[in-house]
Structure 1
Amino acid sequence: MENTRLHHLAQDFLDNKLDAAGQQEFYALLGDPRQREALAEIFMELTGQPDMDLAFDPSLRPLLDKATAVDRPRTAPVRRMHYWGWAAAIGLLVLAGSVYRLTEQRGGIAPTAHTKAGNVTPGKQGAVLTLADGSTVLLDSMNNGVVASQSGTNVVLDNGQVVYDPEETAAAAAAYNTISTPRGRQFRVVLPDGTKVWLNAASSLRYPVAFTGNTREVRITGEAYFEVAADATKPFSVHFSEKGVVEVLGTAFNINAYADEPLVTTTLLRGSIRVNKQQVLQPGEQASINDNDGLTVESSEDAEDAIAWKNGLFIMRGTDLPALFRQISRWYDIEVDMRGTLPDRTFGGTIGRNVSLTDIIEALNIYGVNCRLENGKLIVQP
């Protein structure tokens, strides 16, 4: 590869500016010993001195400490890191594929041994469509084209999404479909009015095959992101579990209503919505509803984090271990067995949803979270 391209990738990595494509390219290069050595030299050149503290984000210090095999306090400065150390350290960054910038946010953790046994692949596109007559269609195995025709509407599979194509005659009677994503799957559907909905793993969406009345109402479980087609004459409503409803005319928002999450959250990205007929949200605000139906609203500069799952990422900001493992369980379709009392730790960082579970286990073990695959389960213990 041209040296100028390597320089560009290395500089963007140091500046934390790599986009998804750049990340994929960067970590692929780290898997090639010759390219890794070239990158090590470029990192030395770009930083101007062998101090790793000036070259890498401090969150990577546990990886670099492990690479140089030096037993020292986490707070001690690191000096005179020679070329072999850089090569080893950069090699370690590819330990978990595209796992990067994972940091423990409550102090240092000593790296621990880890066990690599078997593997679990990440989730993918797929869903089950339940038609009005109760019959089901497994969308994972279908080719593009019409998969069903009901109540005057064709149901079309088009490159990983379901689209509703109404015929000239409107539906005479209300007919409902439900699209469900098992654990380890996500999917996209375009509703009859043009509204786009992305479903996260272990979620479902129930909706009419044609919006014939004065309102547009759908119901979800789990998590979904909506880009609602504007129609001032037909308000759009999303009902979620038993906790409430979001009313909207035209906007983009995310609802997380998993039954095993402590809160139902609704995050507004664009437009305006009303939650539970009482609270109007502005872009960048998130409403949270607890089991007692109490509703609170907070403003966040990180509203886009709510749809990281749609964009192929896990983004953590002060995420505790139970919340992290709930996400892992749904996306990798694996039972998590948490034994004993887990440490009170929170994590920040970003992990690509395309990495294998074994890669994530290796990264977590480096940060002192003892977990392993055993008999088809993910075992986590102090």
Structure 2
Amino acid sequence: MADVVLVTGVSRYLGGHFARRLTADGSVSRVIGVDVIPPPHDIGRAEFVRADIRNPMIGKIIAQAEVDTVVHMNVIATPTHAGGRTSQKEINVIGTMQLLAACQKAPSVRRLVVKSSGAVYGSSPRDPAMFTEDMGPKSLPRAGFGKDSVEVEGYVRGFSRRRPDTEITMLRFANIIGPGIRTTLTDYFSLPVVPVPFGYDARLQFVHETDAIGALLRATTGPAVGITNIAGDGVITVAQAAGIAGRPIMPVPMAAAGLLGSVVKRAGLTDFSGDQLQFLAFGRGLDTARMRSVLGFEPEYTTRSAFEDYARGIGSALPGTAALGSAVSGVAGSAAHAIGHVWASGRND
């Protein structure tokens, strides 16, 4: 049973809400929240400690408080939220290394819970309909958050070999969505025009933000379950999601996707990277049998109902996006026109 719990990333939306929910659990006597900046939201009776997990000082915090359970939620999915790609990788990879080194030295630590991601499976046209936890990616993520997640899980496996007495749970979440959380995909479906790779309509899975917190609570206070996928039942396609959000779609040739991503990123509206574009083309599905049979968790929301709850809260497009629709149309139209010339001239290989 978790008694003294340290939670990383409490200044982020999900980490802060999780810490607050955890303090309401009578079986947990103490919750310590760690981050580099004070949380802007209520974290209940959790004690906030300002610290950087990339700094060895995290080891002193764990040792002095005699922490028995560490919940690592400070793996950041979006570069803009981390101050850029370099900072994102340092926090995700170097931060995880330092945290695990501190846990390894602390005899009090008996359980590690890691918020991981389905991004470790990558996205490719050769993927199975549903990934089970024992499957590997058909195309290994080569950049961005997906690559970071693969490295993080690798370090966790190494830690488990060095500390076999420590219980390990890694939850691989589908994309988390809801009315309060902001991610690359919530920004994407808030655009005035949703650009989609031409000729593709990827299958998407979501998990509602309250279900994500519920799964983490179960993993923290319940039995250790190893690696477990977490997702709402069912799938929806990109086009269906855009329809639910009330957004028109703009088909964009894959050759122009990178250019369009740069335009949207420079506008500060959402952060497109190569792995995200792959995901929007090919999608991903997670098998959730272990979530029910081993973790004993049943989500309240399906994929569709989770997305509908998010869509009810988006209203109009994000502030400052009024002029973006014409930019999206312009990039897409120019790219399609240029590619059409190539096809017509027979120079397309």
- Please, what TM-score do these two structures have when normalized by structure 1? 0.26
Structure with more helix by fraction? 2
Structure with more strand by fraction? 1
Larger radius of gyration: 1
- Report 1 or 2 for greater relative contact order, CA contacts < 8 Å, sequence distance ≥ 6: 2
